[in-house]
Amino acid sequence: MHEKSRFFETSSWLISLLLVFPILAIFYTAMGGDNEIFGHLMATVMGTYTYNTAVIVLGTVILSILMGIPTAWIMANCDIPGGRWLQWALVLPAAMPGYIVGYIYTDWFDYAGPIQILLRDIMGWTSPAHYWFPDLRTLPGACFVLSLVLYPYIYLLARASFMEQSVTLSQSARLLGCSPLQAFWRVSLPLARPAIAVGASLVAMEALGDFGTVSYFAVNTLTTAVYDTWLGYSNLNAAAKISAIMLVVIFILISSERYSRRKQQLFSQTVSADKIEKVKLRGKFKIAATVFCWGLFAAAFAAPLVQLIIFALGYLSSSSVIDFVQYSLNSLYVSGIAAVAALGVALLVNFYRRLSGKSVSAAPSRIASLGYAVPGTILAIGVLIFLTRGDHLINDVAKYFDLGRPGLVLSGTMFAMITAFVVRFSGVAIGSVESSLQKVAPSLDMAARTLGCSAKSMIKRVQLPLIRRGCLIAMLLVFIESMKELNAAILLRPFNFETLATYVFNYASDEQLELAAMPAVLLVFVGLIPLILINRSLERGHA
């Protein structure tokens, strides 16, 4: 069915353009304005910021690959103790905010921390001059902490790719004289390279846009430069210039990843008669694989979570329950509105694509999804520029009609935060709704039209009931991502307004995470929900 619906067409294009305007506003603002502060930054610290950013991105990607690929291959092809539980447990570190893991590891490994105290007691050392211990608050330390929470991107995609590979390929390699390790290097790894490249690009973009971890570790990057330029120098133009540079870098990363696999085509898939029979490891290989996988899970998730729970229980009487409740309600409020709004965007653009059937109808959904590739700090600058222009327009109109000046109607309220969340996470909702809508057979639409249903009636009575689960998942994913979002919230929140994420970060920055351990535990458990959903979907797809 191909039906032109003026309402869906107009609404889809209008909303998609509104969602992409904050991104375009960054480039527009960066091309004008005063270059004095930006020139000063370029002449003094920008080289250091760029170097630190490059090291953070490259180091995090390398460490994430070293953590993600071996665990993915072991979980997909080998049988180790607790493997059934471990295959989803290795995904859980993605729910841990990096700055929380950074605080906990810093607390453990500092001179006054339990690790060094234990070493001094055992070895008899009395001062730092007697021994050397690595300093975690460095560039390598930041890379290590970020890789602990970002390697699941590579693990998930690589594991899915290894599970989809036909077992006959590895069997053929073994028959030709390859050892299991040689079969991995020559067959499995090259076939998984596209998935690994996608995961590595996601890790790179997350590392590039990270603010909480690098800020806590006092490592100056381009992201912290955007934050400091806006809040420190109050110069939106210079912040826009830095943001534009980062957007160009992100575009290069995405383009390079796609260009690297432009000619790759994979046709071998695992079918029901081609089940993977997992290798039963023995001896030292079994011990090494088990220790590596369980050790990584413990280091990245289990141990930090236990420490958070200990903090929460130990400092429960010192924590402010009133603040916790208030900030939880704030997070629920803005995240709930953002989830509903993002679902509305997803339904409009997907129904327009479904009703139209033309190739151009896919453009609004693609445009509306662009914000998901933009780090929160950069997107916050674009939203701020866009809404500030809107505030000026509202005040000019009000003045023209002698209504006074209403002030910051858009940029100084929760509307700015909600707008940033919708722009950033609409792509998540669009993907979820699109996936559900694709499972609805076109014959059902034709049958509804044959029975006299209009387009709107067909959507209400046929399509919406069938994609209800996808809509609920879309809302849930956007809600949870908005609850955890720190970068945009910390720049766009109104005065005296805190969310759980900003509340926890403020205490972590002041070396008092213990007092905010209870909301930190809540953030972690909230972040587990989409990971469990994704992993269950992966298991069903390869059952």
Q: Per-residue pLDDT tens for 377-405?
A: 889 999 999 999 898 899 888 888 888 78
pLDDT above 90 covers what percent of the chain? 28
Cβ atoms of 260 and 521 closer than 8 Å? no
> 4 pLDDT exceeds 80?
no
- Alpha carbons 531 and 480: distance in angstroms, whole number: 11
- Alpha carbons 4 and 360: distance in angstroms, whole number: 12
Q: Return the exposure string of 479-495: e unless at least 16 CB atoms fall within 10 Å of the residue's CB, then b.
A: bbbbbbbbbbbbbbbee
Alpha helices in 165-218 (DSSP H): 167-175, 180-183, 189-209, 212-216
Residues in the chain: 543
pLDDT at 56: 95
Instruction: Tell me the CB-side half-sphere exposure of residue 124, using CA atoms within 13 A.
Output: 0
Q: Which residue has the higher pLDDT, 225 or 253?
A: 225
Q: Could you give phi then psi for residue 79, rounded to 5 degrees?
A: -110, 110
CA angle 531/533/536 to nearest 5° reads 105
The pLDDT tens digits for 460-519 are 778 888 888 888 888 888 888 898 888 899 989 988 889 999 999 988 888 888 888 888
- Alpha carbons 368 and 373: distance in angstroms, whole number: 11
Instruction: Tell me the CB-side half-sphere exposure of residue 236, using CA atoms within 13 A.
Output: 18
pLDDT band at 424 (very low <50, low <70, confident <90, very high): very high
Return the SS3 of 148: helix
pLDDT at 1: 42
> 268 pLDDT exceeds 60?
no
Total-model pTM: 0.84
Cβ atoms of 253 and 205 closer than 8 Å? yes
Lookup: tokens for 497? 């307004």
Domain ranges in the chain are 1-24+315-509, 33-261+281-313
pLDDT at 3: 47
SS3 readout for 522-542: HHHHHHHHHHHHHHHHHHHHC
pLDDT at 537: 62
- Alpha carbons 431 and 154: distance in angstroms, whole number: 20
CA angle 229/251/100 to nearest 5° reads 55
Question: Which residues on adjacent β-strands are paired with residue 280?
Answer: 79
Q: What is the DSSP letter of 76?
A: H
Lookup: tokens for 18? 């509104």
Q: Please name the residues in contact with 530: beta carbons below 8 A apart, sequence gap of 6 or more.
A: 476, 477, 480, 481
- Alpha carbons 56 and 140: distance in angstroms, whole number: 8
Q: Is 27 exposed, middle or buried (0-12, 13-18, 19+ CB in 10 A)?
A: middle
Lookup: tokens for 469? 């689960």
pLDDT at 274: 46
> 266 pLDDT exceeds 60?
no
Cβ atoms of 86 and 80 closer than 8 Å? yes
> 332 pLDDT exceeds 80?
yes
Provide the CA 167 distance to its chain's centre, in angstroms.
32
Cα 458 to Cα 239, 271, 437, 488, distances in angstroms: 47, 36, 13, 38
Of 35-44, 96-105, 410-419, where does mean pLDDT reach its minimum?
A: 35-44
> 104 pLDDT exceeds 90?
yes
- H or E segment and range at residue 280: strand 279-280
> 317 pLDDT exceeds 60?
yes
The pLDDT tens digits for 124-139 are 887 777 788 888 889 9
pLDDT band at 174 (very low <50, low <70, confident <90, very high): low
Cα 3 to Cα 76, 347, 357, 446, distances in angstroms: 45, 16, 8, 11
Pairs from 120-124 (Cβ < 8 Å, separation ≥ 24): none
Architecture label for domain 1-24+315-509: Orthogonal Bundle (1.10)
> 265 pLDDT exceeds 90?
no
Lookup: tokens for 399? 């003045």
- Alpha carbons 388 and 410: distance in angstroms, whole number: 7
pLDDT at 41: 86
pLDDT band at 538 (very low <50, low <70, confident <90, very high): low
Report the pLDDT averaged over residues 100-111. 90
Lookup: tokens for 297? 């899970």
Fold of 33-261+281-313: MetI-like fold (1.10.3720)
Cβ atoms of 87 and 177 closer than 8 Å? no
pLDDT at 436: 82
The pLDDT tens digits for 52-81 are 999 999 999 999 999 999 999 888 888 888
> 253 pLDDT exceeds 80?
no
Q: Tokens 């959903």 — which residue?
A: 533
CA angle 65/204/528 to nearest 5° reads 75
